[in-house]
Structure formats: structure tokens, C-alpha cells
Structure 1
Amino acid sequence: MPRIIKIVNGNIITPYRVINGGTIVLTDGIITAVSEENIDIDAVEIDARGNFVAPGFIDLHVHGGGGFDFMDNTAEAFREIARTHARYGTTAMYPTTLTSEKEDLLTTLSIFEQVKDEEPVGAQLLGMHLEGPYFAIEQRGAQDTRYIRNPDPKEYKEIIKYSSCIKRWSAAPELPGAIEFGRYVKKHGILPAIAHTDAIYEDVELAHENGYTLVTHLYSSMSGVTRRNAFRYAGVIESAFLIDGLDVEIIADGIHLPAALLKLVYKIKGPENIALITDAMRAVGLPEGPSILGNLKNGLEVIIEDGVAKLPDRSAFAGSVATADRLVRNMVQMADVPLIDAVRMMTATPARIMGIDDKKGSLVIGKDADIVIFDSDINIQKTIIKGKIIFDKDTPANNLVGLDSQTVFGN
């Protein structure tokens, strides 16, 4: 018998409008109806209690959470990070690496291959995002200088041959060989993104012509207007605003970018070209204090304070401890963005950027039943992934992984 779930009394956020008091039907993990009216059907019923019902949040750039980093290189780390972020509304994510030795990177890819087809215990793992090691040393941010290098065709071809799970690779396009690198990864179905870079407009324009269509964490670790021999040049920030075909991602934790910059990016690029990302590291969900960015063996010591990760000397940020609900909340409350647009930047736009919008990113018939229910302050009440309740705030254990909705709510 098909497993049918009916969500009622919800304010459903569709790509076009909010349906107040609407109903959505999920059949075997797929959305089969979205209606303004109650639908008379024999199904397990979930009462949304007047809360918002939205597509599940998609995080394109996340390193860790719950005390784990993807580069810890254990299956447990992957599972616990996915479980942690599901509590905050993330239903799908792209695990992200840091600059590292090639052997460590290959191990991370192997662990992904090991867990990717498991029954989800948290957010779905859709593919790997390699952040580095091909970066500008001057824009390294918290990336480890020991591993930063120029694109090496022998190396990146070997890595791509090693695993088919790579979906995105961030690099500095001005480096020697970076244009050829961008063309190669694009040819192999991998999205090349601009990151940790000192490029000027002409570099970015050339990169865009050769497949780079996304700017990684806009404003962080990249050039703005610079001078060379007294002449001014537009940097990556200005290029992202000028080139219509470039999408951008932003860390909307309210710290990496203050309210004024959140408003500026939204005003210029619009919700259709902005993806909200956590860029979260292992300290998500943990108390403030010392932590490690990257793997425990040779990662970078950082300190968590003021709601962000910092280098120990407090000279720079070193990743965020944001969660997806916080990003949406900040765009609404700090940047004065309409809720429907804030949700779009966490759902439909990331899905379109990664080419998965045929299955995810919006509450449309035929798409995966990845859903979050949240209140007016964007506090997550339930997270549903492919029709299964992964998180329910009202359940004491706050952990419903693997339970059918009928087990929780009855008939």
C-alpha cells in the first residue's frame, strides 16, 4: 500500500505565493497534491497548526556540525553532521572540504561514497563540494597555507577519475592553469566556482566565459576595488554585481555580512541569483570555546565566540556556526527581505544552481517531499525528508529518524 501523508492547516510557501490554511499531500515520498482546500483522502494527517510549510532547505556549502567535520573522514562524522543540520531545517546538503593533502581528500571522497546511499538519518548528501586547494595565498582566509597550490592537471584529473561524487569545485580563476581547470571540471559535470581569489574584472569575465558561474561566499576572501600602478580595477565583488550570469552565495549569519551588505546583495542580485549558505564548521550546536577547523589530526585551531568562528588571534573569521533557519531569519529580520524571497534563496535558487530543481527546491507536484514546518520566527517545528519525519520539536528525544509518520501520529 502507498504511504500517504496529508499536511493540513499550513501556510504553504509555493514558488508563486503563500497558500493560507492549505493542504499538501505526500505519497511514497513525492508531492502529489498542493491545494487551498482540505483534501478528503485516507492518509496519515499532520496538523501544521497555522505554521509555515516550506520546501526543505538546501545548503550548498557546509563543513561540519555537532562536533564533527566532514574531513574527520569517518562515516560517523558524515551521519552526525547531516543529523545536526536537519534539526534546523536542512533537508539536503553538499559536504564541503578544505585545502588538504591529496590523500586526505581522496579519503573524504571515499567516505562519501560509502554513506551516500544509506537511508538518511539527517539531511541528504547530494554530492561533494571541494573548496580548494587552488587558491590565492593572499586571500586564504582560514585555509591552511601548507596545502594551497596552483591547479595541477595531473592531480585534478586523478581526483575526478577517483570519484564521481564531486559536484562543485571552488578555485581562484586568476591562477596559472585555472581557466583550463574550469573548462575541464565543467566538461565532467562539475560546477566551477570562484573563491579565495585576487582576480580583477577581466579575470572574472574570462572565467565566466569558461564555465565559472558561481561566486563562493561573496565578500569573504576575495578582491574588491584595487589599485595597480595608480589605476583602479574592479575586483571579484564588483564583477559579481556586474555580470548577470554569475550567481552568488552569501553567509547570512549577520556577522560575516552585516545588515547593510545583506540588503545590498539582495537589491542588486535578487533572490533568483542568491543562495544562502551556512559555511558551518564542527562547532554548530555546541557551546562557545576552542574548536578545530578541518580534521582533528592536523586541522586549524579556532575559537568560537560572538556567534562565529575566529582565528585564535582574532584577526579574521574562520568559518561560521550558522544554521539554515538562522540564515532565513536574518534575511527577514535584518535585511527586510520578504519571507517568500528568503525561503527561495535557501531552496529554489540553490536547487537551480546545482541543476536539481527538477526534483527539489519547491513545493510542486512531482517533486521530492522534502519539507520544513516553521513558526513565524522561523523556529523549526518539523523536518521531513522524502516523506519521512527526521526531526520533530514536540518529540522528547527530538529524533525520529527511520520512523514512519504513522508511528508518530497514528491514523
Structure 2
Amino acid sequence: MKTKIFNANLVTPHRIIRDGALLIEDGKILQVCDVNPPTHDTFDIDAQGNYVSPGFIDLHIHGGGNSDFMDGSVQAFLDIANTHARFGTTAMVPTTLTSELDDLIKTLDLYEQANRQNFHGSSFLGMHLEGPYFAQSQRGAQDPRYIRNPDASEYNRILDHSSSIVRWSAAPELDGAIAFGQRLMQRGILPAVAHTDAVYEEVLEAFDNGYTLATHLYSAMSGVTRKNAFRYAGTIESALLLDMDVEIIADGVHLPEALLKLIYKIKGPDRIALITDAMRAAAMPEGESVLGPKSNGLKVIVEDGVAKLADRSSFAGSVATADRLIRNMISMAGVPLTEALKMMTLTPARIMKVDDRKGSLQKGKDADVIIFDDKICIQKTFIKGKMVYEKQATSAGNVYRL
């Protein structure tokens, strides 16, 4: 049966179609209409004048709903996918932390199992390995015990073991990092610059060898430095200067208003991907939590809308959900709705080379669709045409249902 969503403000990458309609069939978008066409034998959904847009695509996410992708279970993957579907995320790239090699291999195996069982949550686009090839000086909350230089025998073992890796973040200045990036490119995997002390010349070489994405810009990366009185542009300035895609954690904490505005002014919506970088405490009450595996992860405290190390000396992860990112880009950075949405739909789809099937309301693309109000509160989430979440109103107030 076809589904029709009508009485909708359809958000496309370039405009908003007022009082439009969307036809869906067999998990695909059948037609984008600027009127409500007469139909027969359709399941009709009245959007009630709300916005309808492509679902959010999160390129960098560790967890949510009190689960982490490295908890060591299929259920953790499924719980995270279900949790973030409530907030409009219809596709995600599950992300690891630095760890023992055996734990990483196990996580990759669990991903493949979970991917076959994920029928109700945000779909998985493949795994993102964050580390362990980082600069110790820029490790952030990553466990220093596992940080090391690229090792060809190690990463080739991982690559041969799993075909589910779609991106891998590393520090490009490390010995062996350029060869590592070249190897990833041979396998069709996106290398990304992260947790790095690289200067411009090192970033430029990396960019020429496939490192075309900057992981969580400004977080755990070098800025302008001085050596023997001479100034050197760091990774931050390099990412802004080059035609490099950048991720930003727009939770309103990791980056203040001024930096959100600066990045947007320089890079624009076609080069920026909004990410949650969410850890397990996303969509959970504030208080104590754990970064990484529940069994042996790092104890953290969640307050002020962010996770912090126990001594409060540093941030220890985001607790954002995707809807919060959109609200912040509009309210803090002054970005138009269409462009804010583009940074979490079409741009990340293009970065991950899935824009032929995701990221915009277009005939033939996957019917990954969300309905939200003018406060960016998600009303309904559809993944491949199937409604996986609906906000319910009761006498006790609004509750969420999956």
C-alpha cells in the first residue's frame, strides 16, 4: 500500500514547499508534490502543517539510551539505533573508541549481527573506527593505554577481517599514517583527520592522500603553534583553508556560538556535517555515567548538557541528540532551516557516498523521512517508509513510543 503524507511543509535542500505532499511506496519516495493530489487506496497521514524532511544522518556516534557500541552485545547496537530514531536520526555510522584489538574485532563482528537484526531503529551505514592511531597529546578522553602509531600488520588484519568499515579516523602526522590512508582509499574507506597535532604541511600531504574529512573540528586537534619563534597553521586552520569536509559537534557546549558562526561562514552547509558524537548518556538524565564499555569504561559525570571527566578538567563526550543540533544551528549560529537540515542530511550522505539513495526528498530515494514542528520536536520517524516512532500525547503529557 502507498503512504501519503499531506498538509506538509516539505523541506528540500533549496526551498520549503508549503502545503505539499509526499507519496511513498515500497520503502521509496514515489513523488514529491506541491499540492495534495487525489489518491485511492493509500494510507494517509496528516502532517498538520508541520515540517517534513529527510531523516538525520549521524556520521559519528558512540551510544545513547545507556548503551555504547562497545558494550559487547548486539542488543546495545539495537538499543542505540532505537533511541536515536526518537530524535529524527534515520541512519548512523556506529563509532568505536581506542581499545584492545580483540575488543575491536568483537565489536565489528557484533555490528554485522546487529545490522541483520535492525528492523526498528536508525539504519547502520557501516562502522567508523576512531583510533587507535592518535597523538597522545591530543587523546582527549580516549584511553592512552591503547594509543599507538599505525601498524600495517595490525590494520591489514582488521581490514581483512571485516568489510563493514566505512571510515577510520587517525592523526596524519604519525609515522605510517600516509601509507595507512592510502591503504584505506584502496579499500574504499574514508580516512579522516582526528586527535592530531599536525601542522599545515602535514595536513596538506594527508589531504592529498585521501584524508578529506576533519573529525569533530576544534576538538582534540592543533591550532596555530610556534616553533623557534615561527608560527605554523595547525589542523584547525588547515581544515578551514582546504576544500576539506568538517564535522562539528553543535551541542552548544563543545563549540560556542562564535565558533559555530565562524565555521559556517567559512565552510558553508555543503562542507559541514553536524554530528552528535553522542556517548551512552544521550537521552538519559544527568548524573554519573560511563564513557566506553560499561564493564571497564571511564567514569564520567554528565552536567550542563555535556559529559565531563570526573575531575571536571575536560569534556568526555557529547550527550546530544540530532534535533538539538538543528535547533542550535538555527538559534545560535543564525543558520536558515533549510541549510541547517542540509548539514545533517544531504551533506553527510554525500560524504559517505550514499547521496544516491539518502539525504533528500527526491523521487526514488529511500523513504527515510521525519515530521517535526517549528521547535524541531520530532513527531514521527519513518525508515524506508515504515513508521518506527510516533510521539504520543496522553493526559499525563507527551510521552515517547517506539
Kept in 1, the 8 Å contact 2:269–2:339? The answer is yes
Q: What is the one-letter code of the residue matched to 2:276? A: T
Deviation string, structure 1 residues 279-300 (Cα, Å, up to 9, x no partner): 0000111111111100022211
Partner of 1:272: 270
Alignment gaps of 5+ in structure 1: 401-411
Deviation string, structure 1 residues 83-133 (Cα, Å, up to 9, x no partner): 000000000000000000000000000000111122422100110000000
Alignment gaps of 5+ in structure 2: none
Kept in 1, the 8 Å contact 2:141–2:315? The answer is yes
Q: Distance in 1 between matches of 2:386 and 2:146?
A: 41
Kept in 1, the 8 Å contact 2:96–2:129? The answer is yes
Following TM superposition, the consecutive aligned residue runs of length 4 or more in structure 1 with deviations greater than 6 angstroms are none
Q: What is the one-letter code of the residue matched to 2:268? A: G
Q: Distance in 2 between matches of 1:311 and 1:382?
A: 35
Partner of 1:356: 354
Partner of 1:378: 376
In the TM superposition, 1:395-410 aligns within 5 A as 398-400=400-402
Question: CA shift at 1:76, angstroms?
Answer: 0.7
Q: What is the one-letter code of the residue matched to 1:20? A: R
TM-score (norm 2): 0.98
Number of residue pairs matched by the alignment: 397
Moved more, 200-209 or 120-129: 120-129
In the TM superposition, 1:1-400 aligns within 5 A as 3-42=1-40, 43-244=42-243, 246-394=244-392, 398-400=400-402
SS at match of 1:212: coil
Deviation string, structure 1 residues 214-250 (Cα, Å, up to 9, x no partner): 0000000000000111110000110011102x10000
Q: What is the one-letter code of the residue matched to 1:102? A: L
Q: Distance in 1 between matches of 2:299 and 2:176?
A: 32
Q: What is the one-letter code of the residue matched to 2:360? A: S
Deviation string, structure 1 residues 175-215 (Cα, Å, up to 9, x no partner): 00000000001110110000000000000000000000000
Q: Distance in 2 between matches of 1:275 and 1:120?
A: 26
Question: CA shift at 1:398, angstroms?
Answer: 3.5
Question: CA shift at 1:347, angstroms?
Answer: 0.2
Q: Distance in 2 between matches of 1:312 and 1:115?
A: 32
Kept in 1, the 8 Å contact 2:134–2:171? The answer is yes
Q: Distance in 2 between matches of 1:118 and 1:301?
A: 30
Q: What is the one-letter code of the residue matched to 1:321? A: V
Q: Distance in 2 between matches of 1:296 and 1:36?
A: 49
Q: Distance in 1 between matches of 2:393 and 2:132?
A: 42
Q: Distance in 1 between matches of 2:88 and 2:393?
A: 16
Question: CA shift at 1:82, angstroms?
Answer: 0.4
Question: CA shift at 1:16, angstroms?
Answer: 2.1
Kept in 1, the 8 Å contact 2:300–2:307? The answer is yes
Kept in 1, the 8 Å contact 2:13–2:339? The answer is no
Question: CA shift at 1:72, angstroms?
Answer: 0.2
SS at match of 1:180: helix
Kept in 1, the 8 Å contact 2:75–2:114? The answer is no
Percent identical: 64
Q: Distance in 1 between matches of 2:393 and 2:257?
A: 35
Q: What is the one-letter code of the residue matched to 1:58? A: I
Q: Distance in 1 between matches of 2:279 and 2:118?
A: 24
Q: What is the one-letter code of the residue matched to 1:243? A: L
TM-score (norm 1): 0.95
Q: Distance in 2 between matches of 1:395 and 1:376?
A: 17
Q: Distance in 1 between matches of 2:352 and 2:272?
A: 12
Deviation string, structure 1 residues 143-192 (Cα, Å, up to 9, x no partner): 00000000000000000110000000000000000000000011101100
Q: Distance in 2 between matches of 1:315 and 1:186?
A: 37
Q: Distance in 1 between matches of 2:227 and 2:300?
A: 34
Moved more, 128-137 or 40-49: 40-49
Question: CA shift at 1:56, angstroms?
Answer: 0.4
Q: Distance in 2 between matches of 1:140 and 1:120?
A: 35
Q: Distance in 1 between matches of 2:384 and 2:367?
A: 4
Q: What is the one-letter code of the residue matched to 1:86? A: A
